[in-house]
Amino acid sequence: MPKLQPLARHRKGWEKVMKYTIDRISEIIVICEDENGDMVKVQASALPEGVREGDILTEADGTWTLELEETERRRQRIREKLRGLTE
């Protein structure tokens, strides 16, 4: 079975902000990739409205923020990488 871990609920306040990338949105469940490359499940209702697959989010004390600039930068960089490898 895929290693899907529920998101840890209680994180100490002083711990650094966690970063996630949305791998896929399946109705109410959103699968996010954490910084270690593990996939975690998040309820769609916890995330900012209108998030899309591929968006990068940060989470601190249960508050999620869409990192629009970083998302665009990363999207652009990987798009270039894909183009460079295409026949």
Partner 1 sequence: MTVKKTGKFYRRVLAAAAILLALCMAGCGPIASSSPLTQREMGNEAGTDLRVHFIDVGQGDSTLVEKDGHFMLIDAGERDQGEVVASYLETQGVKKLDYVIGTHPHSDHIGGLETVIRKFEVQKVLLPEKEHTTKVYERLLDAIADKNLKITLPKPGDSYSLGDASFQIIAPKKDYGDNLNNWSIGLRLIYGKNSFVLCGDAEKDAEKDMMANGLPLKADVLKLSHHGSSTSSSEGFMDLVDPEYGVISCGKNNDYGHPHKEILEMLKKRNIKALRTDQLGTIVAVSDGSKVTFPEITEGTDGDRSQGTAADKDYVINTNTKKFHRPDCKSAASMKEENRKTYKGSREELIQMGYEPCQSCNP
Q: Which long-range contacts (CB under 8 A, 24 or more apart) does 9-12 make?
A: 11/61
**Is there binding between residue 67 and partner 1 (CB under 8 A)?**
no
Per-residue interface string for the shown chain with partner 1, residues 34-63, x marking contact by CB under 8 A: ---x-x-x----------xxxxx-------
Token pair listed for 78: 């990987």
Write down the least CB distance from residue 39 to partner 1, Å.
6
Amino acid at 42: V
- Chain-centroid distance of CA 34 in Å reads 7
Given 18, 33, 58, 64, the residue binding partner 1 (CB under 8 A): 33
